[in-house]
Amino acid sequence: MVCETGPMAEIDEQPPAPVVGGAPREIAEGVHVVPDLRVPLVPNVGLVEGRDRLLVVDTGMGPGNGARVRAFADELADGRELVLTLTHFHPEHGFGAQAFRDATIVYNAAQLEELHEKGQAYVGMFRTFGEAVAEQLEGVELVDPDETYAGDSHELDLGGRIAELRTWGLAHTRGDQVVWLPEESILFAGDLVEERCFPIFPYFPPDDADVDGERWLRVLEQLEALEPEIVVPGHGDVGDSSLIATVREFITLLRDETRARSAAGVGVEEAVAQLDEELRALHPDWVQPEWIAFGVRHFHDRA
């Protein structure tokens, strides 16, 4: 239905409620993705079967989404033990963890510290994003893990299948973590890699400036070096390693164009205005162009 005028036009412009609406799709034997269906504030969720345990990667936002993901996990696990890990602390990825309190929950140390420091503030911030978001956050509880790991990796033996949790520290957040299945060559990348979505720079100084575009580029190089055959982005369609290259090329361009303007004495507001227009035009089919401005401010402040 197309409504160009009248009240329906306004209703149509409202984003859909951030609800996990997909069902698990098997992308390789025993490896499933609950697709985000390109709904804002819904992540791609991973479900990885081993002989003994089933690993869940991200939960969606709030108790309702967490329960939905839990139901998928229970059905696939069929009595096997559940393990939950999160790609990073952001609400739409991990704030459904309360549905997994009886599972084994594993975060990296930086992610837990970031959750403790910022979790409640992010609940407050996300509640301002509209009624549909606030509704999903109703009754949300932040959940500590059963296990944390220090260092840059942690191996989970699921029974006949290894899942490697890997972190390179600060990039999109302080504690970004990917899940790498070396045998199957599958990478769950979290928000380090999006598909047809402008990279998310959560640069909100002075409250939260823990994003580092330069380090992010180095991390993307590390992810490319894994040569994954299948890449599950934080948001958007599942693809191959070209997804990583596309993000790396975009962030490189964003950095270089911002630095060039800064060096030429172009102020931050003017640089934002110019690059917002230019980069939107470069990728007219990408969503969330509002993140361009945050990325420009980030690189301009560091130029």
- Applying CB under 5 A, what is the total number of residues that bind Zn ion? 2
Minimum Å gap between C-beta 40 and Zn ion is 12
Are the C-beta atoms of 93 and 190 separated by less than 8 Å? Answer: yes
Q: Which tokens sit at 182? A: 């070396």
Instruction: Give the H/E segment covering residue 26.
Output: strand 25-28
Cis amide bond preceding 206, omega within 30: yes
Minimum Å gap between C-beta 48 and Zn ion is 20
Hey, what amino acid is at 69?
Answer: V
Other beta carbons within 10 Å of 157: 12
Give the Cα separation of 70 and 59 in Å (integer).
Answer: 8
CB of 23 or CB of 37, closer to Zn ion: 37
CA proximity to 226, closest of 253, 277, 187, 269: 187
Residues numbered 188-207 forming contacts with Zn ion, rule: CB under 5 A: 191
CB of 189 or CB of 296, closer to Zn ion: 189
Minimum Å gap between C-beta 76 and Zn ion is 25
CB of 68 or CB of 93, closer to Zn ion: 93
CB of 191 or CB of 195, closer to Zn ion: 191
Of the candidate spans 26-34, 56-64, 187-195, 277-285, the one that interacts with Zn ion by CB under 5 A turns out to be: 187-195
CB of 177 or CB of 246, closer to Zn ion: 177
Minimum Å gap between C-beta 285 and Zn ion is 21
Minimum Å gap between C-beta 87 and Zn ion is 8
Of the candidate spans 6-14, 70-78, 141-149, 185-193, the one that interacts with Zn ion by CB under 5 A turns out to be: 185-193
Of the candidate spans 90-98, 144-152, 272-280, 291-299, the one that interacts with Zn ion by CB under 5 A turns out to be: 90-98
Minimum Å gap between C-beta 200 and Zn ion is 5
Give the Cα separation of 102 and 68 in Å (integer).
Answer: 16
Minimum Å gap between C-beta 202 and Zn ion is 7
Q: Which tokens sit at 255? A: 């950095």
Of the candidate spans 46-54, 75-83, 88-96, 207-215, the one that interacts with Zn ion by CB under 5 A turns out to be: 88-96
Minimum Å gap between C-beta 47 and Zn ion is 20
**176 near Zn ion, rule: CB under 5 A:** no
CB of 137 or CB of 158, closer to Zn ion: 137
Q: x/- contact string, 45-84, with Zn ion (CB under 5 A)?
A: ----------------------------------------
Are the C-beta atoms of 230 and 27 separated by less than 8 Å? Answer: yes
Give me Rg for the CA atoms of the chain.
19
Are the C-beta atoms of 20 and 69 separated by less than 8 Å? Answer: yes
Are the C-beta atoms of 266 and 177 separated by less than 8 Å? Answer: no
Are the C-beta atoms of 248 and 171 separated by less than 8 Å? Answer: no
User: For Zn ion, which residue of 68, 90, 161, 297 counts as binding (CB under 5 A)?
Assistant: 90
Q: How far is CA 161 from CA 114, 173, 178, 187, in A?
A: 29, 28, 16, 14
Hey, what amino acid is at 51?
Answer: R
The site for Zn ion (CB under 5 A) is made up of: 90, 191
